[in-house]
Structure 1
Amino acid sequence: MLEEEYQPRRRLPRALQPAPRPETPFSFEIRPAVPEDLPAIRDIYNHYVANSTVTFDEKAMTIRDWRAKYARLQQLEMPILVAESPSGQLLGYTMVFPWQAKAAYRYTVEDSIYLGPASTGKGLGKALLGALIEACREAGIREIIAVIADKNADASIRLHASYGFKEVGRMGRVGFKFDRWLGTVMMQKSLKKLKRPRG
């Protein structure tokens, strides 16, 4: 063996060590959903159906289900938005749908926000909800209702409160999923009309 094989490896001076690779910043674009987004929207939603109580759905939704929902929202001119990464990956989505079927409820909607599991805790939910509120205001919607499960949903309650949603009621033991009873927290935000420029 050569003598230098017994020598301890010398560390390069700090100035000569390779610089650590910078972390890629978390970035995204929020835009209206298009039909091509529906498979990714389905996958995000079905993850929560199978693994959480944030939705009371117990059965996975199909592409056919999502196409019907999307067509209905387009017909009603209600917003459905997605967040997309620079590489084209869908990171999350948000939408509203009619609060009730009766005509008198036509200016009131219920919101929905779902993020891909790798996109949580990075401010995406806040960005999506802010964009949704503005899209609702532009669409002439006056009231947004959030119906939030009362178990493991503190982050959603805080998120809505940060945009001025107020708690307006609670219902206990109205859902049963994963062998336990669940209640809901209801929050509401009133939107002011956009001021139209004169002239």
Structure 2
Amino acid sequence: MTAEIRPGVLDDLPALLDVYNHQILTSHSTFDLEEMTLEQRTEWFGHYTPDGPHRLLVADVDGRAVGYATSSMFRAKAAYAPSVETSIYLATDATGQGIGRILYSELLRQLEAHPGLHRAYAGVALPNDASEGLHRALGFTEVGTYTEVGFKMDRYVDVRWYERDLGV
């Protein structure tokens, strides 16, 4: 499976919604508890631009969006502006094929080239060996763990935080 990595477009939203809603229902990789609607995801889409610090990249395989990676506002206070929080989600049939690494690598490459960005942060709900391995392989280092910070699927969930220098 070969993926083209490109900026997300509105036409991707139904596929991206399917990917995300599947994660909501089947995993603790997101702490959302209820499926999102297309209207909610359309509003979410408006937070991203192809050339700003907050980006949405899509992995496209044969015209189908099979995953996405984002950089979002880390925190709302102005002093946090040089930092972004990154996330990645893949369709189940797109995992284990290197698509996530290619997609996330491109997002990080673009963030490194963006003036004024200093650090990327990622929270990984535990356990998630694949996500932790991906983050380490792409140069993230562990900076701490929030223990039992969320409750999903009848249990408390820890979140391990990773950071990566963006070279600025």
TM-score by length of 1: 0.80
Identity, % of aligned positions: 37
Mapping of residues 16-55 of structure 1, within 5 Å: 26-55=1-30
Contact 1:79–1:135 (8 Å) recurs in 2: no
Residue type at the aligned position of 1:187: Y
State which of 155, 158, 168 in structure 2 corresponds to 1:180. 155
Query: Which residue does the alignment assign to 2:132?
Result: 157
In the TM superposition, 1:8-157 aligns within 5 A as 26-74=1-49, 77=52, 78-85=54-61, 87-140=62-115, 141-151=117-127, 153-157=128-132
Where 1:73 maps in the other structure, the secondary structure is: coil
CA distance in 1, matches of 2:125, 2:101: 18
Q: CA deviation at 1:139?
A: 2.5
Counterparts of 1:27 and 1:88, CA distance in 2? 11
Superposed displacement of residue 105, structure 1 = 0.5
- Quote the Cα distance in structure 2 between the aligned partners of 1:127 and 1:76: 19
Q: Secondary structure at the match of 2:87?
A: strand
Per-residue deviation, 1:135: 1.4
Q: Which residue of 2 aligns with 1:189?
A: 164
Deviations 1:41-64 (A, max 9, x none): 111000000000111110111111
In the TM superposition, what is the alpha-carbon distance from 1:164 to its structure 2 partner? 1.0
Q: Secondary structure at the match of 2:123?
A: strand
State the Cα distance separating 1:40 from its structure 2 match: 0.8
Q: Which amino acid aligns with 1:154?
A: D
Structure with greater contact order relative to length (CA < 8 Å, sep ≥ 6): 2
Q: TM-score, normalised by structure 2?
A: 0.94
Cα distance between partner residues in 1 of 2:44 and 2:100: 22
State the superposition RMSD in angstroms.
Answer: 1.4
* CA displacement 1:124-172 (0-9 Å, x = unmatched): 1110110010111222321100100012x11101101001100000111
Task: Note if contact 2:140-2:164 (Cα within 8 Å) is conserved in structure 1.
Answer: yes
Q: Is the 8 A contact 2:50 2:56 kept in 1?
A: no
Distance in structure 2 (CA, Å) of the matches to 1:137 and 1:66:
27
Equivalent residues, number: 166
Q: Once the two structures are superposed, what CA deviation does each residue of 1:79-103 show, in whole Å capped at 9, x if it has no partner?
A: 1100111x21111111111010001
Amino acid aligned to 1:142: H
Deviation at 1:76, TM superposition (A): 8.6
Q: Is the 8 A contact 2:17 2:41 kept in 1?
A: yes
Unaligned runs of 5+ in 1: 1-25, 194-199
Alpha-carbon separation, structure 2, partners of 1:178 and 1:76: 37
